[in-house]
Structure 1
């Protein structure tokens, strides 16, 4: 029986997972009660957003008597957790002064879905090897099988999920993994005193990622940042992986290793080596507004007339990173326009003057938006004759570039009617932002009237952060919700991937098709 399935259950909007409940409190009690529909043993996570008003959150029984204090005097957005027990009928929100709040159950895990901690190893192959070593066996048969299969090892778990195990052999004291199915450096574990180092993860069967390994990273006295950055001295492609990327890199230190599971979605315009068939011209562009200069490369696919009435103008940030073999976007444009999936499209690849300028210009910088709208677009018109309508112009980018695409389009919808964000850094906020408003862009959207901008957002399922911090995945999903609530035309996709050009090159094609696909 549900915990509050009894007479006398409290009034108020019931709480169900992923359905935020907003309310206001006034009067002497300044509290509101929301019934829970749970079963004994359910694990529950949620958030309470109260802005600047200190808030208290309690579990109460069906008569309103307090059972447990979950949050006490918190402001802004706070996370709470509990395990449902008999008698827990509702959550009561109390504010110290009249005001508004938003209460959300973000997660509910039934008892039947709460799996016990695994005893032994997640990977059956590692479990079998550990047992064999205890019997006095050798690792040689294991490594012969690894050489036959390649790494990482992928073993079935259940429909839609697999166990993925990264391996290294013979390190002296440590192995780190960068680019695996998390957003952090991962440390491989040594199997006893053998030559096997490993780390296993449960991942979707649609996973696509690139990664590197770093054996025996130096450990020396220094700051946390210095020790963390020491991984760069040893990062290289996995020598046991069969898919180095790019294949023609000068050495393994400049390569990544690829993983592309069978259920990974197709990447539009990607497949097979090819050279761009159109015209690529790079010029130096100087900005009076920003007081600097940068390279701007313009790509026109075969048969595309930049001055055509329906031509799409794609402005892509971090441009050089999308002109190489890791993300060959000119070839993608050739294929998508050539087979008539996209209308004629001109690609403009915008470089950064420096890393410092990138960090200053891309995160929600009004001057950068003004440069794009008032200097770059007129400059392009003078160079190639393009006269783009806002609804045929798209700003696009990844990471900080995704943040810039959305914020610049919202700042200048008179020029830019579309924004395409890939793994956008929507966790970002100005240094002087209020501590209870960390998601700056979502706040801007909520405060302002809807702009005539269509938005494509995407994020990787592995782009989460530890503890209760807001990462790319969480902030992208939240921004999607806020945009939809304001009436924006939004397309959202997430991928079983990380912060990774191997996934981004496909997401860019997905975004262009979502915004401009030709109807047949």
Structure 2
């Protein structure tokens, strides 16, 4: 080879080396895509200049792996394993520097073509959650006004005039409404009890304004009561939320407000399509029964409790055709749910026969938790102490016209007592029964499994649950419903857009009574048509 040829070869080698060096030191910018082939040696490394905390997203397409190199060129981690399906990658830079991205061939597939795209490099300061989309047109309009330097005064003045929560129609969904619950002026947080989600819902803050909100799409027939808890102290104990709960000050509709105390009462939401509750209010000019409070001691349980005895007007002990209601949780069913008034009105309307009631109090919160979930000792108290005692006071009826009823744990207890003593209680009225309950160490749904195993009893059922109660209540009530029907029981099961709520139960209790012991006829069949 002559001297000119040698010079040409040297120049070609130098040019090839320079090209290879340039390729091996290529840089990649956000939004840029490159193509290549994965070689066993001399693979190209694309460099990305990063700051500490930068979030990097990208994608590789092709039968290759992708390795991340640290700023010193040392292998840091495998971002993409070419043997797996995922092709998108994401990582965070621990320190500043030029990180490397190197495509590596798979075994048996050298030279496979690939494409690499750097989709995003997001600085730490930009890594914050996007503000939630404002479903409420009224809030979206307010947000626009705030962005232009406006304030919230006109918005709150409108809320004072119209009341809260904010209710808006949904385009193309005539059976639904958008309901936005609001709070003004909290500093740190706001939680809501009784939300349609079934959770202790956290409200969002509208920017840095004094508006806190939570929006829900709900049926136009929704009924619920709720409380708000502003500036809840930080704690792992969810009961701490109760430290600040109160009714909504801009909602004039209240519930359980006999004390007039904003911290004890609740706010009420009843959308226009909610079924009526025509038996709740006292009516002038009708015959009214009497309510007597007595004390009953139990050697079996080792405690003493209040028992309320309601006798309707004209009640005659032992007379034919009369009925009896046995009901748990007297603290609620003599106050939030005015059971004597409900019975007065149902009887006056001719929907049920003359019906007396035994309304049983709990000696304490602890005793309620021990007695109402399936408890053989409590069942013996009911069968051997309470019912004979009530009979001595002139309150009794055949099992076929006796209803055992309750809500939550009380609904669970009613179904258990029906199973254990159908000779006393021929009708079970359960409102949001806690059928998730199980004995320690067992799966949820103990009582439902007991009904599966037991020979069918002469029982009829009315089961009610709320669509806002979540799977713990709603699904377990549906499971019991299906089991009972499969076993041949007569069951009416209804579900409402409501929560675990006495506001709903004061409408469900009378409809359950009409279903189980109502007098035959068109009036009775139509009385609760909207509740079915």
TM-score interval, normalised by the smaller of the two chains: 0.7 to 0.9
Which of 161, 182, 195 does residue 148 from structure 1 map onto?
A: 161
Aligned 1:371-382 pairs, distance under 5 A? 371-382=381-392
Task: Mark the structure with the bigger radius of gyration.
Answer: 2
- In the alignment, what sits opposite 2:177? 162
Please tell me whether residue 258 in structure 1 is matched to residue 273 in structure 2.
Answer: no
Match of 1:443 in 2: 449
Unmatched tracts of structure 1, length 5 or more: 1-116, 465-469
Find the counterpart in structure 2 of residue 184 from structure 1.
199
- Pairing 1:314-329 to 2, within 5 Å after superposition: 314-324=325-335, 326-329=336-339
- How far, CA to CA, are the matches of 1:483 and 1:348 in structure 2? 26
Local SS of the residue matching 1:254: coil
Note the aligned Cα RMSD (angstroms).
Answer: 1.9
Instruction: Give the equivalent residue in structure 2 for 1:475.
Output: 476
Equivalent position to 1:206, from 221, 226, 230: 221
Contact 2:205 2:211 in 1 (8 A): yes
The structural deviation recorded for 1:172 is 1.1
Judge conservation of contact 1:394–1:420 (CA < 8 Å) in 2. yes
Q: Aligned pair in 2 of structure 1 residues 365, 148: CA closer, same or farther (>3 Å)?
A: same
1:418 aligns with 2:427: yes
- Per-residue deviation, residues 480-514 of structure 1 (Å, max 9, x unmatched): 01100110000111111111111111111111011
Partner Cα distance (2:282, 2:321) in 1? 29
1 CA distance for matches of 2:211 and 2:441? 48
Whose helix proportion is higher, 1 or 2? 2
Give the match for residue 322 of structure 2. Answer: 311
* 2:139 corresponds to 1:133: no
Question: Which residue pairs with 2:33 in the alignment?
Answer: none
TM-score of the pair, normalised by structure 1? 0.72
SS of match in other structure, 1:471: helix
Contact 1:278/1:301 (CA < 8 Å) preserved in 2?
Answer: yes
**1:427 aligns to what?**
436
Distance 2:444 2:300 in 1: 28
Measured after TM superposition, the shift of residue 273 of structure 1 is 7.5
Q: Name structure 2 gaps, 5 residues minimum.
A: 1-129, 522-532
- CA gap 1:408/1:299 in 2 versus in 1, 3 angstroms: same
Query: Aligned match of 2:366 in 352, 356, 367?
Result: 356
Aligned residues of 1:268 and 1:510 also touching (Cα < 8 A):
no
Distance in 1, matches of 2:154 and 2:287, equals 46
Which residue number corresponds to residue 502 of structure 1? 503
Alpha-carbon contact 1:177-1:187 (below 8 Å) kept? yes
**Is contact 1:458-1:493 (8 Å) kept?**
yes
Q: 1:441 to 1:215 in 2, by over 3 A?
A: same
Trace 1:257-296 onto structure 2 (pairs within 5 A): 257-271=267-281, 277-296=288-307
Q: How many residues align?
A: 389
Q: Within 5 A, what are the aligned runs for 1:8-27?
A: none
User: Structure 1 residues 373-382 or 276-285, which shifts more?
Assistant: 276-285
Q: Report deviation, 1:276.
A: 9.1
Q: Which residue of 1 aligns with 2:469?
A: 463
> TM-score with structure 2 length normalisation?
0.71
Q: What CA distance in whole angstroms lies between the structure 2 residues aligned with 1:394 and 1:331?
A: 17
Deviation at 1:345, TM superposition (A): 0.3
The separation in 2 between residues aligned to 1:333 and 1:484, in whole angstroms, is 29
Going from structure 1 to structure 2, the CA distance change for 1:288 and 1:248 (only over 3 Å counts) comes to closer
